[in-house]
Structure 1
Amino acid sequence: METSKFSKFSAEFLGTLVLVLMGCGSAVIAGDNGTTGVGLLGISFAFGLSVVAMAYAIGHISGCHINPAISIGMVVAGRMKAGEAAYYVVAQVLGAIAGAGLLYLIVSNQENFEMKEWALGSNGWGKGYLAEYNSTAAFVAEAVFTFIFLLVIFGATSTKNINGGFAGLAIGLSLVLIHIVGIKITGVSVNPARSIGPAVLAGGEAIKQIWLFAVAPVVGAVLSAVVWKTVLEKTN
């Protein structure tokens, strides 16, 4: 029996909510808290483990994209219809905003809470943001990291892959790897929805810079889909 559109929409909404709540939450709540903070490695694993958990929770329902760049990449690769991808993207963005909203509800009830620039785990670049990389570095990093991320997804979910049952684990661990390298550059997006959710609530520089995190991951995803379809999995 075919899964309904509502079930797929709900799965993508909830999956993206969990990704933002747990991933960004790890940075905001536990990322740097003196000797008890989880640090960069802990945040990296929080994002990756969120994907692993959701892959096994909702993968059989919607494929667990929880990322507009993935849905768009799937369209370009010929694995998904544009109309279906459109409502996936809507669900993902709404889920990310809801996840950021839940995170705000939790952290804003802490004593002496202050909504600072790039709050709630927002992505960004430039002066005042982490290692202060410029927009060129940010764009290149987001496009290249998304390119790599999509290659892993295409390969792990290929019908030719005999280890397909471990796809969720491979995809989640690749996201951990990307975060380990990229957090200091942009906080790592590779996912427009993940960036939009916190930015909508944080405002300020986070919302001004959102264009890069909407464009660069999609560029990387499209290029990855083209390379995968025309070079890596091309059949004679």
Structure 2
Amino acid sequence: MKLCERLAAEAAGTAWLVFVGCASTALNSSAPTQGWNVFEMAAAFGLAQAVAAYACGRISSAHFNPAVTIGYAIAGRFRTREVAPYIAAQNAGAIVGAALLAAVASGRPGFAFAVSDFGSNGYGEHSPCEYVPSAVFAVELAMTFAFALLHLVMSTSAQRRRTAPAALGACLAAAYLIAIPVSNGGLNPARSTGPALFVGEWALDQLWLFWAAPMLGAIAAGFFLRVVLRRGG
């Protein structure tokens, strides 16, 4: 596939992921139900990941996440010169997905970005359960490490690639079940950036953590797989 086709697939997949995942909370005006909102959002992100991976996996390898792209590059499974274009496409897609969601959400009477978190990630008073930054950082790093490592492992053979979309969707949903009460579920710098640009203020001030922790987690996953493959070879 040409690079432009792969970048288009990455942008479209990331836009879908952000729109579907964040819509599960941003468009729901009903009173929160303990536990159910966490499951609903986790399921939405997991299903969106699986669908997008099935649609785009053969075109772009279905990263949809700057951290995953970095993990692939560290593991030696992705061209370094294509890292920046992939990350740019993913962020562009996330912004488009968030913009579409903003247009839909704004159609509800009384909706305001200042009142709704719009699916944004946060720590302290902006964490769903008010977790401190160190706890949020640890969860974001650990969950991204697990997701990025599975992504890399599933790419190591043709047989695994066939089942990768379902596995990645299930993994992301499971990771979000853990991360949503802590950080509102990030694990993806592009996914965090899209909504933050519309919420502004605190969401942008805290965005650094949702770039730093996932990137470190994915870098660790890339190094880990590289060492394992080297010893196995």
| TM-score, normalization by structure 1 | 0.93
1:1-236 paired onto structure 2 within 5 Å: 3-30=1-28, 33=31, 39-116=37-114, 119-159=117-157, 162-231=159-228, 234-236=231-233
Sort the Cα spacing of 1:163 and 1:13 in 2 relative to 1 into closer, same or farther, 3 A: closer
- How far apart in 1 are the matches of 2:169 and 2:121? 19
Map Cα deviations across residues 22-63 of structure 1 (whole Å, 9 max, x no partner).
00011111385457x952111101001101000111111111
Relative to 1, partners in 2 of residues 1:9 and 1:210: Cα closer, same or farther, differing over 3 Å?
same
**What do residues 60-81 of structure 1 show as CA deviations (whole Å, max 9, x unaligned)?**
1111100000001000000001
The DSSP-based 3-state class of the residue aligned with 1:30 is coil
Cα deviations across residues 163-201 of structure 1 (Å, max 9, x unaligned)? 431111001100000011110100111100000010011
CA contact (8 A) 2:26 2:116 kept: no
> Aligned partners of 2:122 and 2:229: how far apart in 1?
33
Letter in 1 for 2:150: V
Kept in 2, the 8 Å contact 1:117–1:202? The answer is: no
- Number of equivalenced pairs: 232
Q: Give the Cα–Cα distance (whole angstroms) in 2 for the partners of residues 113 and 208 of structure 1.
A: 22
1:163 to 1:81, Cα distance in 2 relative to 1, 3 A: closer
Question: How many Å separate the matches in 2 of 1:181 and 1:212?
Answer: 17
Could you tell me how far 1:215 is from its partner in structure 2?
A: 0.7
Note closer, same or farther for the CA distance 1:118–1:146 as it changes in structure 2 (3 Å cut). Answer: farther
CA RMSD of aligned residues (A): 1.8
Partners of 1:162 and 1:88 in 2: CA distance: 25
Q: Give the percent of matched residue pairs that are identical in Structure 1 and Structure 2.
A: 36
Q: Could you tell me the TM-score, scaled by structure 2's length? A: 0.94
- After superposition, the Cα gap between the structure-2 partners of 1:118 and 1:205, relative to the gap in structure 1 and judged at 3 Å, is farther
The whole-number CA distance in structure 1 between the counterparts of 2:120 and 2:208 is: 13
Q: Equivalents in 2 of 1:96, 1:125: separation in Å? A: 21
State the secondary structure of the residue aligned to 1:8.
helix
Which ranges of structure 2 fall in alignment gaps of 5 or more residues? Answer: none
Instruction: Tell me if structure 2 keeps the 8 A contact 1:118–1:204.
Output: no
